[in-house]
Amino acid sequence: MAIDRRTLLGVGVAAASTALLGKTHAASEIPASRAKRLRRIATEEAWSIPEHIEALIGIGQTSWDNLDAMSWRPVTAASPLARRLVDIDERLRIMDQLGVDMHVLSLTSPGVQMFERAHAVAMAALANDRMAEIIRARPARFAGLASFAPQDPARAAKEIERCVTKLKLNGFIVNSHTNNEYLDLPKYWEIFEAAEALNAAIYIHPRCPADTMARPYSDYEMRAAIWGFQAEVGVHAVRLMLAGVFDRFPKLTVVLGHMGENVPFHLWRTDHWFERRRASYASKLLPSEIFKRNIMITTSGVEHGPALRYAIEVLGADRIMWAIDYPYEEMPPAVTFMNEVGISESDRAKVLHENAERVFHIEPA
């Protein structure tokens, strides 16, 4: 069979080598992910309710010198972002076009964590109730991570119990620091106690760096996804590990987005210096031991094959879930990435849906 230059360049290596070997393009040569379509569960999908967006826009309109407030300053009720966070029909249309089976919804960052205590407690409960209604209406298309207000740890623990036992939600989300404090402080540990007891994972989602490290992030738009988000959540995750949170709560599952918020890439060095300074830390567990036992990561916003293959090699495919980060990222590139990335078909199934079903208690299809 003759092959011209255009065929080689245009059709790609797989098809060209098939032609070179004189084979027809049999069904057995179609990647399994396309031949037998895998269920796609996207695990970090932002959503909101009008009351919540209105409150965040209100914060943006204050003169509060805070990086998250600055991020909300340009947003109005007419912004496309405000619509896309709320509009379930638009979201479903795009999901249908692309074969995205399920979004695991979560209240958009910074959740309720910039509100005064009573407002935060009430807003979390309202958003959780609305989320549960959406899931009840379309249980095959949506699951949800509930919010709680760390500003009131005792009420947060009660809300965690309500969301699992009454609302049947699938886990929790917290947007990193609350009033510049991290959850390694023992006053917050009743939150972990409640989540562990209910076998509910807590997703630590980004917000902008805390005021205490804000200055260098206030230039060049560094506060957000270009660097600030991953720096903020990476710090949070390492604090939890070194404080002994996972020694005290051995069955707790914490989820980190964005391919682990930089921490996996430095895990060898973190282990190395943990070993050299063991006496300094409350934890007895190596950071890498914690990562392989208590921490899941997701691919949100990172469509990079080498990064995913590294994470599979270092953490194992059982610890990685697919995510889009809609509407902050668009759905098509995240779908294409998982269709095409060079990993085994069994790993692709784990990342696309099997791990999410296990961690978030989603009924297998």
Task: Give, in order, the Cα–Cα distances in Å from 337 to each of 301, 332, 347.
Answer: 11, 9, 14
Place of tokens 């943990």: 274
Least distance between Mn ion and beta carbon 94 (Å): 16
Helices marked H in the chain:
5-11, 13-20, 32-35, 50-61, 67-72, 80-86, 88-98, 117-137, 153-165, 189-197, 228-243, 245-248, 258-261, 267-276, 287-293, 305-315, 331-340, 345-349, 355-359
Per-residue x/- marks for Mn ion, 28-57, CB under 5 A?
----------------x-------------
Least distance between Mn ion and beta carbon 139 (Å): 23
68 belongs to the binding site for Mn ion (CB under 5 A) = no
CB closer to Mn ion out of 44 and 261: 44
Enumerate the β-bridge partners of residue 42.
103
Among 196, 261, 325, 354, binds Mn ion (CB under 5 A): 325
CB closer to Mn ion out of 44 and 159: 44
Among the listed residues 314, 205, 188, the one whose alpha carbon sits nearest the alpha carbon of residue 249: 188
CB closer to Mn ion out of 101 and 261: 261
Q: Of 5-13, 121-129, 217-225, 322-330, which segment contacts Mn ion by CB under 5 A?
A: 322-330
Query: Of these residues, 68, 101, 184, 325, which one is catalytic?
Result: 325
Classify 171 as helix, strand or coil.
Answer: strand
End-to-end CA distance of the chain: 43
Structure tokens at 281: 């830390």
CB closer to Mn ion out of 44 and 68: 44
Least distance between Mn ion and beta carbon 152 (Å): 24
Q: Of 4-12, 68-76, 276-284, 317-325, which segment contacts Mn ion by CB under 5 A?
A: 317-325
Q: Of 49-57, 93-101, 220-228, 320-328, which segment contacts Mn ion by CB under 5 A?
A: 320-328
Total residues at interface with Mn ion (CB under 5 A): 2
Least distance between Mn ion and beta carbon 110 (Å): 11
**Nearest to Mn ion by Cβ — which residue?**
325
- Catalytic, 211? Answer no
CB closer to Mn ion out of 263 and 285: 263
Least distance between Mn ion and beta carbon 56 (Å): 15
Q: Which amino acid is at 204?
A: I
Q: Of 132-140, 143-151, 265-273, 318-326, which segment contacts Mn ion by CB under 5 A?
A: 318-326
Among the listed residues 229, 232, 222, 218, the one whose alpha carbon sits nearest the alpha carbon of residue 183: 232
| Backbone φ and ψ of 74, nearest 5° | -80, -10
d(CA 274, CA 201): 26
Least distance between Mn ion and beta carbon 289 (Å): 27
Task: Give, in order, the Cα–Cα distances in Å from 26 to each of 8, 21, 23, 340.
Answer: 19, 13, 8, 19
d(CA 155, CA 161): 10
CB closer to Mn ion out of 85 and 243: 85
Per-state percent for the chain, helix, strand, coil, to nearest 5: 55, 10, 35
Active site residues: 325
The binding site for Mn ion (CB under 5 A) comprises: 44, 325
